[in-house]
Amino acid sequence: MIDASELVDNDFLRQFELKVDEHMAKIEYSLQERKIFLTKLIIPEEIFNDTFQNDFIKLVFENIEERNLSVVPTSPEIAKFIRKNRQYKSMLPVGVRI
């Protein structure tokens, strides 16, 4: 499991970042009112595997949940993650279906 303290919310670049060795995994976002649009998932192939991807997304969702924001997944990988992990469906805004 990834350590939550390693996750960085770079609000200047509007992305969550997680550094692994010399590689950087990122989820780009756009924040509008009380909604966060997760627009792009970038994981370098050197560190990519399904477990890492799931753990990284879970970590980002925990951070978002603490901030009481709704999630709008515009990235196909994030939408797929929500379909597989139904406990996060409650974070979707009213009217958004996955």
- pLDDT tens by residue, 2-27: 776 799 999 999 999 999 989 999 99
Question: What is the pTM assigned to this prediction?
Answer: 0.92
- pLDDT tens by residue, 69-95: 999 999 999 999 999 999 999 999 988
pLDDT at residue number 96: 83
- Sequence letter at residue 31: L
Topology adopted by domain 4-91 = Aminopeptidase (3.40.630)
- pLDDT tens by residue, 52-72: 999 999 999 999 999 999 999
pLDDT at residue number 1: 60
pLDDT at residue number 59: 95
- Sequence letter at residue 65: E
